[in-house]
Amino acid sequence: MTEIGGKIPSITLLDHLENKVEMANITHPAVIYFYPKADTPGCTKEGQQFTEKFDDFTSLGVNIYGVSKDKPAKLEKFAAKYDFKHHLLSDEESNFTEEMGVWVEKNMYGRKYMGIERATFLTDKSGKIAQIWRKVKVKDHAEAVLEAAKGL
């Protein structure tokens, strides 16, 4: 599990346009948020909130990456449908989510299954993790992350 002060694992993911993104090469401030599934209510709202704050993050030199298990083609449709301005990354094999400690056992209506825990990581300009939010509640989350980014 990745902790504050740790580095982002060296894993390559595809974004929603099928461009390769080497996660360990992110050496600028960044928001990396994990969400369970594209085009579902909570995940859509979270993406919209980061898009609403996109210019504020950009003015601070902070890039935004959303990560799910969805295929790049689904992410491309999701990004286009809601006009997301930030990168959406595909972790189909769950390698990155496992390394980051957000591939967890969940329980819904007594049924246990593995899935992505909604979580956000904020990295500093050297690529080290500066702050972590786990079990994120979507309401006002992007604003809280923005406030933390202002302190980098």
Closest CA to 8 of 126, 114, 88, 110: 126
Quick one: pLDDT band at residue 27, thresholds 50, 70, 90? confident
Find the helix packing angle between 41-52 and 72-82, rounded to 10°: 60
- Give catalytic residue positions: 43
Is 108 within the bounds of a domain?
Answer: yes
Quick one: pLDDT band at residue 127, thresholds 50, 70, 90? confident
pLDDT in tens, 47-97: 999 999 999 999 999 999 999 999 999 999 999 999 999 999 999 999 999
Range of the domain at 125: 12-149
Question: How many distinct structural domains can be found in the chain?
Answer: 1
Is 1 within the bounds of a domain?
Answer: no
pLDDT in tens, 98-114: 999 999 988 888 889 89
Is 101 within the bounds of a domain?
Answer: yes
